[in-house]
Amino acid sequence: MPVTVHLLGEPRFVVAGQVFEPQADRRSAMLYFLAHVRGWVPREDLLYLFWPDFEEHRARANLRQLLLAVRDAPYACDLEVERTRVRFTVATDLDAFDDHVTSRGSLAWPGQFLDGYRIKGAPE
């Protein structure tokens, strides 16, 4: 089923018309980040993003656990995981924003990027 990720305004996932607004944590943060990037991301980048102060072996173990936990979510069906890289190829509202800017030359858009999305205890 096609997944759409809304990154402008309050973030959410939409699958076959069903809206999912998961808790703000590393699972949803990783999927939002991957949807925004729109391509392959090296695992090392995710290690640095989510566990910058951890020893590499511990950060890798955490990433493996995170990827396993995310796969169970009904909106993560398009998550692709390889030995050295990860991607989440989905439609986003940023696509519509890009089309709007290209056709109208305007940057006005209702809603800020990931508006109100904060992970408790995480630095900005």
Whether residue 30 contacts residue 66, with contact meaning beta carbons closer than 8 Å, is answered with: yes
Q: How does pLDDT run across 15-41, given as a tens digit for each residue?
A: 999 999 999 999 999 999 999 998 999
- Check residue 94 and give its pLDDT: 84
pLDDT in tens, 46-64: 999 999 999 999 999 999 9
Q: What is the pTM of this model?
A: 0.82
Residue of 8, 4, 6 lying closest to 110 (CA atoms): 8
If you search the block for the tokens 């305004």, which residue do you land on? 9
Tokens matching residue 27: 């699972």
Please name the residue that has the structure tokens 């392959």. Answer: 40
Higher pLDDT, 13 or 111: 13
Residue 102 — pLDDT band, cuts 50, 70, 90?
A: very low
CB 15 within 8 A of CB 75: yes
pLDDT in tens, 64-93: 999 999 998 999 999 999 999 999 999 998
Check pLDDT > 60 for residue 109.
no
Determine phi and psi for 63, rounding to 5 degrees: -65, -40
Q: How many CB atoms lie within 10 A of CB 23?
A: 8
Pairwise CA distance, residues 114 & 83, whole Å: 29
